[in-house]
Structure formats: structure tokens, C-alpha cells
Amino acid sequence: MKHCRSGYIFPLILMATLSIGFFTMTLVQLQSSHHDQLQHLNNSQHALNLAYSVNVEVLSELREKQWDERFFKGAPVYRMNQKLFGGTYDLCVEDYDTSEYTFNVKIRTTIGDKKSLFYWRQKYIPNMLDFTRLTFTVSFGEYDPGLFEPGKKSEIDKMVDDKLKNAADNKQEAAEIAKALKNEPTLGAIIEKLAALPPGIDKSLIKGESQLRPSAPVLGTQASNQPKIKVSKVLKDLDSVVDPVDQLDFDPSKPGTCVCNKDLMIRSEPWGTIRGVIPPGAPCEVGGMRGDFFEIKYNGIVGYSHMNWIAVEGHTPAMVEPPRPPGAPPPI
């Protein structure tokens, strides 16, 4: 009894102290977890910003030279342990061999002890009409940092390929769903159409389900109502400027036919001496051109006849006597 009474206060104080101590530790732990959470969030954002910044630098470097002289042409470029904005990163830029003008940028960031891998597949836009854009992103994503290693190249590329293929496969269906939902008047109707409610749940339980959807605001841009000249008409004009014969390729030789209503001269050279004649309607071989003359072979005679009198596939002869150019030898 004596022991009991004299030892009562210490266990009490000990218990109180321990309780307060544990409470304080829990509080510190919570606070630390809060701090870690915030740090993690900031680090994630920081890692993304860092990777984006590196990608911007890659694009800046790409701009400095033309595509044919790009810095990663022929072989992947690796840059390891680079420092930027308080973090470090590893970079890999390489051509994506399967598709022209396409390249992959892999950036592995390290912020504190956390590693992240960001992957951009980008397409260079070589044409001049898209003059406000150098590249566009085909795919972007975050992947397991271990996939950065050169040995894992095919693995990560395949993951991206599959992702793009899925997107392409689903595009039609997604467009159809979006189209089907476009005219549904209420949220409830959309949920019903999507069959998104679990069995036994009524849509009336959803707040605001019967409220009418506001109509989508319409942009007031308009097509031009000016009468325009047809582009095909101008193409026809262009076609008349360039001789159709210049759109032909004479390699290998083509069959031709004399369309002259009398014997057509075979000359030694354009406007040159006469080597022989081709009778009207006779077939010959056409092997090339010199000026306005076809190089022809008829009956063993090789020489030149004017294109106005020889029909070849793709070339309709004018069938008019051609003018002799100034400076050409006089007629014989």
C-alpha cells in the first residue's frame, strides 16, 4: 500500500508525457508528410518544367540549322548529367526511322532523388506555309525512367506506337460518341445515353440532371461570298504555257506515229539536212528530244523529225508547219 501510494504520480506523469510526446510526434509526422506532399508536387511540376525547357532548347537548336543538317542526323545525340534550373537531366534526341521528318526527344530529369522520364515524339514541318510552327507534337507522355537507357529504345518506342495506334483506332468511335451526345438536351440524358449509371441507380439522384444544357456559343466567322476564279481554270492556263511534251519522259524510248499528210522529213539535226522520210501513218521509235524535234528511228534511219508531226502517248501533235527559228539554217 505504501509503495502503491508513493509510486502513483510517476506512472501518471510518464503516461501524460508519453501521450503528449506521441501526439507531438504524430503532429511532426503529419507536418513532414504535408511537406513531402508539397515537395513532391513541386518536384513533379519542376520536373515537367525542366523537361519542357530542355525540349524548348532542343527545338531552338533545331531551328539554327535546316532539317537536312539537324544535329542528330544519322545518330542519336545523348547528353548526360546536364544541369538546368537547379535540377539535372539526361537527354536523347534521335530520328524516328519509321516516319520521315519525325524525331523523338527523351528527357530524364532528376530533382532531389526523384527521377522522371518525359518523351516527346515530334514532327518537323518542312513546308513554308506553316510559318508560325516549326514542329508539332505527335505524342507526349511520362514513362518509367529506366526506359531512357539506349537498350530500351525499342521498348519505349513500341509503347508510344501502341498508344498512337489505340488513339487512331478509337478516333472514329470517339467522334461518333461525341456526335451522338452533342444534341442531348440534359446531363441526365447524356449519362443515360452513355449507360454510365451503375445498375439500380436512378439518374434523378444526380444533382441538376434535368437542367437544360446551355447552347454552345457560336463563333461568328463566315466564309467569303466573293465570286472567285476557279483554280482549275488557272491550272489549265498554266498547262498551256508549258509544252505538254516537256511533261514526258523518254527513258526508255516510246513508240511514235507520223501524222503528217505527206512524207515527213527525217533530218540529221534540228533544221539540218534530210536523211530520209517517214510516210504518213508509219510507226517509229522516239528516243528523246533536241529542241522541238524528236529523235526518231525509222527503218534503220536515225534522225530528227519535228514534234508537230509525230504522235507519242501524252503528246498531241499540233499538225501545223512549224516556224523556222531565226538563225536556223535556211530551207533546202
Residues present in the chain in total: 332
By beta-carbon proximity to another protein, the closer residue of 217 and 300 is 217
Question: Whole-angstrom Cα distance, residue 191 to residue 185?
Answer: 11
Nearer to another protein, 5 or 207 (CB): 5
Single residue of 74, 219, 252, 300 touching another protein by CB under 8 A: 219
Beta carbon nearer to another protein, 98 or 132: 132
Considering only residues 292-331, where is the footprint of another protein by CB under 8 A? 292-293, 295, 318, 320-328, 331
DSSP string, 9-63: HHHHHHHHHHHHHHHHHHHHHHHHHHHHHHHHHHHHHHHHHHHHHHHHHHHHHHH
Kindly state whether residue 102 participates in binding another protein, applying the rule CB under 8 A: no
Q: Which stretch binds another protein (CB under 8 A): 11-19, 105-113, 184-192, 202-210?
A: 11-19
Task: Give residues 59-98 in contact with another protein (rule: CB under 8 A).
Answer: 59-61, 63-64, 66, 84-86
Segment lying near another protein (by CB under 8 A), choices 152-160, 187-195, 204-212, 219-227: 219-227
**Residue 252 binding another protein, by CB under 8 A:** no
- The rounded distance, in Å, linking the Cα atoms of 25 and 117 is 36
Q: Binding residue for another protein (CB under 8 A) from 113, 131, 173, 212? A: 131
For the bound state, the minimum distance from the C-beta of residue 311 to another protein, rounded and expressed in Å, comes to 16
91 and 82 Cβ atoms separated by less than 8 Å: yes
Is the N-terminal amide bond of 279 cis, ω within 30° of 0?
Answer: no
Would you count residue 221 as binding another protein (CB under 8 A)?
yes
Tell me the C-alpha to C-alpha distance, in Å, between residue 262 and each of 99, 257, 265.
57, 13, 9
Which three three-digit cell numbers place residue 128?
513554308
Tell which one of 291, 299, 301, 316 touches another protein (CB under 8 A): 291
Distances, alpha carbon 276 to alpha carbons 283, 299, 310, 323, 330, in Å: 15, 10, 15, 21, 18
